[in-house]
Structure 1
Amino acid sequence: MIESLVDIFLLVLLALTAFTVIRLNDLFAVAMLSGIYSLLSAGLFVTMDAVDVAFTEAAVGAGVSTVFMLGALALTTSKEKRSSRPRLLPLVVVFITGAALIYGTADMPPFGAAENPIHQHVAPHYIQQSGQEIGIPNIVTSVLASYRGFDTLGETVVVFAAAIGVVLLLGGRFRNPANGTANKPAKGPAPEENK
């Protein structure tokens, strides 16, 4: 009973945070609330006994992503400009995409049902054999570290490549304190100081 209350509380906080992010114009507050959203998601993963996933969400979602967003904000303004164009077309596209996704899930088996295809051969193998095959007592860790090792390596490579891309995009730029604009540093050798 108490676990359900904690889950409901975290889900309500997630919904409130997401709604607040959508409504705000202050991009600094949006970056902070995105980090809070990731921490709440990590807390929800902990209540579902997925501590490894929670750790990754806290490190990447709340930590690295927030730092990247704040780094990007250092090069721009902190206020979002209101668009004067009508926003009907994006709204229609979102509703059509959402309807297609809901229609696509209509014939899926119920979530967590024992007769789902994944529970027939894959999950029982992980549960019964991972201890002997891998030697790691935590099933989630053994699946992520060994059975899905290439998946995890691929995800790590993608995150690393994204981080390098952001560093390259942000590198070589600084904010001019006089007028608040982002400028590139001067090219060429630095002038020597008089000794």
Structure 2
Amino acid sequence: MFEILNLVLLSLLFIVALSIAFSKNLVNIAILMCTFSSLMAVIYLNMNAPDVAITEASVGAGLSTIFTFAALSLIKNHKTNSSHSFTIFCLMLIFATFLSYFIYKLPEFGNYGAPIHHHVAPYYINNTAIVAGIPNIVTVILASFRGYDTFVETIVIFTAALCTSLILKGERDD
């Protein structure tokens, strides 16, 4: 079952990536980028990484899309083409349904019987002081164990801000 879902998600991801590469309309590209991030969030949920999925959905699909549309709204010469808006809306509705299904399957918040409490948490609790020599578990997880992840998330936020600045600068130059 999961193999078929993975193939479908990967195929949709490839189609959306190609659509982004060949699209010339900025509004469609912004919506497709949101779709891409939503698909990635579903893929992360399918890989049992709900924290990464929530981050991707909120930063990639949410915040970046809001920044992009805010920048596009400031461009005066921008033409909108809404011929594909219903199709894109339907796709986003399907992705939201997938995301809702996986969120429904997550364990209840604070449930001690959740797999994370029996697989990952004991490792961090037992090995944090040994590996890093720092008694604060949260600091070690963010700075040592998840350092690359935190660094890449910072790059994503920086890239969204840079793209917004470049779009606005291009408008000012025109």
**TM-score, length-scaled by structure 2:** 0.53
For structure 2, the residue ranges without an aligned partner over 5 or more in a row are 81-119, 129-137
Give the structure, 1 or 2, with the largest relative contact order (CA under 8 Å, sep 6 or more): 2
Cα deviation, residue 23, structure 1: 2.1
Q: Percent identity?
A: 28
Instruction: For 1:1-195, list aligned pairs within 5 A.
Output: 2-76=1-75, 77-78=78-79, 129-133=123-127, 144-145=141-142, 147-148=144-145, 150-151=147-148, 154=151, 169=165
SS of corresponding position for 2:74: coil
CA RMSD of aligned residues (A): 3.8
Cα deviation, residue 143, structure 1: 7.8
Pairs aligned (count): 121
Q: How many angstroms apart in 2 are the aligned matches of 1:21 and 1:160?
A: 20
- Give CA-to-partner distance per residue, 1:65-88, whole Å, 9 cap, x none: 111211221233147xxxxxxxxx
Cα deviation, residue 162, structure 1: 6.1
Aligned amino acid, residue 145 of structure 1? L
Q: How many angstroms apart in 2 are the aligned matches of 1:164 and 1:24?
A: 22
| Rg (Cα) greater in structure | 1
Q: Tell me, yes or no, if the aligned pair for 1:39 and 1:62 is still in contact at 8 Å.
A: yes
Cα gap change, 1:130/1:40 in structure 2, threshold over 3 Å: closer, same or farther?
A: same
Q: How many angstroms apart in 2 are the aligned matches of 1:26 and 1:57?
A: 24
SS of corresponding position for 1:49: coil
Q: Tell me, yes or no, if the aligned pair for 1:68 and 1:166 is still in contact at 8 Å.
A: no
Q: Tell me, yes or no, if the aligned pair for 2:64 and 2:160 is still in contact at 8 Å.
A: no
SS of corresponding position for 2:66: helix
